Amino acid sequence: MILIDGKMRTKLFKLLPLLLAIFLLSAHISRGTGEEGKEEETTNPNLREQALIKTIMKKLNYSHFQPQAINDDFSGKAFDLYLKRLDYNKRFLTATDVEAFGAYRTQLDDEVKNSNYTFFELTATTIDKRVKESQTYYKEILAKPFDFSTEESIELERDNMDYAKDEAALKERWRKSLKYATLRRVTDMVEKQEKAQNGDKEESTSFKQKEEEDEEEEVEIKTLVEMEVEAREKVLKNQERWFKRMEGIDRNDRLSAYLNSIINIYGPHTGYFPPKDKEDFDISMSGRLEGIGARLVEKDGYIKVSEIVPGSASAQQGELKAEDLILKVAQGKDEPIDVVEMPLDEAVKLIRGKKGSEVRLTVKKIDGTTTVIPIIRDVVLIEETYAKSAVIHHAEVSKKLGYIKLPKFYADFSRSGGRSCSRDMALELQKLNQEGVDGIILDLRNNGGGSLNDAVDMAGLFIDEGPIVQVKSRSGAPYVLADKAKGTLYDGPLVILVNTFSASASEILAAAMQDYNRAIVIGSETSFGKGTVQRFFDMDQNLSREYADAKPLGAIKITTQKFYRVDGGATQLKGVIPDIILPDAFRYIETGEKEHEYVMQWDEIDPAPYSPWKPSFNAEAVREKSEARTASNEVFQLIDENAHRLKEQSDMSLYSLNMEKFREEREAREKISEKYEDIEKENGAIQANNLQPDLERINQSDAKVKTNEKWLESLRKDSYINEAAFVLKDMMK
């Protein structure tokens, strides 16, 4: 099952708030589509819409951590956000349309206060009209062949485009867009054919296909003209499917998008969920997740991977990564379906499937390269989500080191005494203590969080006692979650690894250990930076009598609390800044909380009374030694070079529509990419071994043995673990 964020066509308001808070981490929430799952009709739609806006604004102003002043400034922000979402790629609206909308730019606050939908009515009518008009464009344009020898280009970045000045300019924009889609298909076909003709001796550099696919599938040799015709036909079918979905967007869908543009000014994690027919699924922190195991969000018209679920099919396959953009989805060898600008819930239906079936995702990487990733759908290997440990022997570190990987902060709330990550962490520490390790590396990279109470309990394993995190509501003094059990389970040298995708509970644990001087934190420039708490409210509850006939209204997710470190600083936006910063692929790219619009800002409150640890090492001296090693480390130099390249490629938005130049540009990107494909190779200095108590469980099946061998190999290749070992050595001096 795919964990999704955004347009989820289910009655989310009926799910347990705890489960929703765990799995719905970001908020690009808007419309749903199609006949299936329509909102329940009310006898008085005007009454319902009036009740919606009144109830939403009342709940926001009463419950949100940081209520907004509903004024002209608020109106302008909501106007801009809604306009951006209404026509993200500027393919439907003209400059004249936008100019007409502009008269309402400072009027939305008044409309909200008066439950008035005049602006919404105007935009909904206009966009529906423009969508119908554009259906004639693609049919006419795709009826004729494209000339790929002409010198012209297409701009794909919305912010670099103006709205088309008139219908002729709009039609020209469609022509270039359809030509670009056709050119990509033709180029893929040409290169696949060239590869087949070369007998696989020369691998296509601009579009990676799996070797097994080429072995099974015989490539029919075609002329360029034949390929252009075939490509145009496929683009035409995609457009027909796309417009059919567009026809399914009704007033309620557009209204949800409009309301969320207003609500999201309060923050990206606050949003409205209309009542939808509930899909049959069961998600829990300890349950079975059937599908590819990726958390998906909608970002600027694309389906983006925000997180790979530990132990999932995607994690096992290994190629799909956070920040990847999914362009197409195919069922096995079937024709891929374009999912760009497809509603998230519709794309999820294509990606989700039965265990054992294959889905092929055409994915755009952050460096601009495109690859096809085949994934066999499966249930999550729950065991792979649990804490596990190993012993690290390093040739240049004359100490025995312990390593613990914690993929997420899991807890089984379905039964008393169910499995929890804090109890598992205690067991792993006990095993490492018995092994006699001299220092421990705790790996929280890519850990998106989970159970807050377990994060607090886990911190208590490393300190004697004291506060771990402060939680503040809108009013009143913050309350402190503390470790109240005296004593530690492990009091030796500790290094914590984090990265851009370490979020929520991971940040709370790392921040506490940093504030107590209990550990040295190593990682990316900063962690994710989500330091807020959300709660779901069923809007039908406590509805005033005058709106009793307006039910069902749906639910609203509201940010109600904020996390603060024991030193008083928020984890929001800034995240946790490591003591030692190492280069990584996302160093120069905005990721995490800061990539969202209208996020809550960082602030601070009074520190909680706590007694920092008295380390036996000089943290500044340890950091300076690490910086010197990193500066001369060839692997980290390559990682930093690659990070610069990824930033440049992610900013690239102008593409040639001349086939020769288009191919040259793609091949150049792929050639450069090859240099960085295997940056991290097995480090002969590192040996990673299982602990004796774990071997019986690992040897239960060949599958477990294979998975374990792959894991140990990854540890031996990991440059961050290598540097963490050196840091522990310096701490022990």
DSSP track, 181-237: HHHHHHHHHHHHHHHHHTTTSS--SSSB--HHHHHHSPPPP--HHHHHHHHHHHHHH
Contacts of 197 by beta carbon, 8 Å cutoff, 6+ apart:
221
Residue located via tokens 């015989």: 218
What span, in angstroms and rounded, lies between the C-alpha atoms of 250 and 35? 9
Contact (CB, 8 A) for 584 and 302: no
Looking at the structure, tell me whether residues 430 and 464 fall in a common domain: yes
Strand intervals (E) in 430-499: 439-443, 466-473, 479-483, 494-498
Looking at the structure, tell me whether residues 602 and 487 fall in a common domain: yes
What span, in angstroms and rounded, lies between the C-alpha atoms of 593 and 599? 7
Contacts of 122 by beta carbon, 8 Å cutoff, 6+ apart:
100, 101, 104
Copy the structure tokens of residue 371.
């690859």
Q: What is the pTM (predicted TM-score) of this model?
A: 0.85
Q: What's the pLDDT tens digit per position in 630-659?
A: 999 999 999 999 999 999 988 899 999 999
Contacts of 331 by beta carbon, 8 Å cutoff, 6+ apart:
350, 353, 357, 358, 359, 360
Contact (CB, 8 A) for 77 and 265: yes
Copy the structure tokens of residue 280.
């049959």
Copy the structure tokens of residue 298.
């909608």
Contacts of 638 by beta carbon, 8 Å cutoff, 6+ apart:
675, 676, 679
Neighbours of 677 (CB within 10 A): 8
Angstrom CA distances, 164 to 154, 170, 244, 654, 664, stand at 14, 5, 24, 17, 30
Looking at the structure, tell me whether residues 409 and 519 fall in a common domain: yes
Question: Residue 452 is part of a domain; what is its CATH number?
Answer: 3.90.226.10
**Residue at a domain's end among 346, 379, 412:** 379
Is 91 inside a domain boundary? Answer: yes
Is 713 inside a domain boundary? Answer: yes
Looking at the structure, tell me whether residues 84 and 140 fall in a common domain: yes
pLDDT at 286: 30
Is 306 inside a domain boundary? Answer: yes
Looking at the structure, tell me whether residues 296 and 319 fall in a common domain: yes
Contacts of 334 by beta carbon, 8 Å cutoff, 6+ apart:
none
Looking at the structure, tell me whether residues 265 and 303 fall in a common domain: no
Is 636 inside a domain boundary? Answer: no
Looking at the structure, tell me whether residues 258 and 356 fall in a common domain: no
**Residue at a domain's end among 358, 379, 400:** 379
**Residue at a domain's end among 329, 353, 379:** 379
pLDDT at 217: 57
Looking at the structure, tell me whether residues 345 and 421 fall in a common domain: no
Kindly compute the dihedral angle of the four CA atoms of residues 447, 452, 457, 460, in this order, to the nearest 10 degrees.
80
Backbone angles phi, psi at 297, to 5 degrees: -130, 160
Question: Residue 331 is part of a domain; what is its CATH number?
Answer: 2.30.42.10
Looking at the structure, tell me whether residues 585 and 723 fall in a common domain: yes
Copy the structure tokens of residue 50.
């009036």
- If you write DSSP's letter for every residue of 651-685 in order, what string do you get? H--EEE-SHHHHHHHHHHHHHHHHHTTT-S---TT
- If you write DSSP's letter for every residue of 227-265 in order, what string do you get? HHHHHHHHHHHHHHHHHHHHHT--HHHHHHHHHHHHHGG
CA atoms within 13 A on the CB side of 43: 3
Is 406 inside a domain boundary? Answer: yes
Contact (CB, 8 A) for 207 and 370: yes
Copy the structure tokens of residue 432.
């490492």
Q: What's the pLDDT tens digit per position in 272-309?
A: 988 863 233 223 233 334 578 888 888 777 888 888 88
Q: Is 120 in a helix, a strand, or coil?
A: helix
What span, in angstroms and rounded, lies between the C-alpha atoms of 617 and 728? 10
Looking at the structure, tell me whether residues 373 and 391 fall in a common domain: no
What span, in angstroms and rounded, lies between the C-alpha atoms of 525 and 539? 40
Is 29 inside a domain boundary? Answer: yes
pLDDT at 608: 97
What span, in angstroms and rounded, lies between the C-alpha atoms of 165 and 170? 7
Give the residue among 689, 687, 690 at the shortest CA–CA distance from 717.
687
Pairing of strands 520-523, 580-581: parallel
Looking at the structure, tell me whether residues 691 and 712 fall in a common domain: yes
Neighbours of 66 (CB within 10 A): 14
What span, in angstroms and rounded, lies between the C-alpha atoms of 504 and 571? 8
Give the residue among 486, 451, 480, 485 at the shortest CA–CA distance from 468.
480
Low-confidence ranges of the chain (pLDDT < 50): 1-43, 201-216, 277-289
Q: Rounded to the nearest 5 degrees, what angle is found at the Cα of 712, between the Cα atoms of 711 and 717?
A: 95
Q: Rounded to the nearest 5 degrees, what angle is found at the Cα of 194, between the Cα atoms of 188 and 200?
A: 110
Copy the structure tokens of residue 220.
């029919």
Structural domain including 588 reads 386-531+570-617+680-732
Sign of the dihedral through C-alpha 145, 150, 152, 153: positive
Q: Which residues sit opposite 686 in a β-bridge?
A: 394
Q: Which residues of 368-391 are buried (b: 16+ CB within 10 A; e: fewer)?
A: bbbbbbbbebbbbbeebbbbbbbb
Neighbours of 82 (CB within 10 A): 22
Helices 251-263 and 72-86, axial angle in degrees (round to 10): 140
- If you write DSSP's letter for every residue of 559-606 in order, what string do you get? EEEEEE-TTSBB-TTT----SEE---TTTTS--GGGGSSSPPPP-B-P
What span, in angstroms and rounded, lies between the C-alpha atoms of 234 and 239? 9
What span, in angstroms and rounded, lies between the C-alpha atoms of 90 and 174? 10
3-state secondary structure 130-176: HHHHHHHHHHHHCCCCCCCCCCCEEECCHHHCCCECCHHHHHHHHHH
pLDDT at 276: 65
Contacts of 71 by beta carbon, 8 Å cutoff, 6+ apart:
109
Number of domains in the chain: 3
Is 452 inside a domain boundary? Answer: yes
What span, in angstroms and rounded, lies between the C-alpha atoms of 676 and 683? 17
Looking at the structure, tell me whether residues 443 and 472 fall in a common domain: yes
Is 284 inside a domain boundary? Answer: no
Length of the chain: 733
Give the residue among 437, 476, 407, 403 at the shortest CA–CA distance from 686.
403
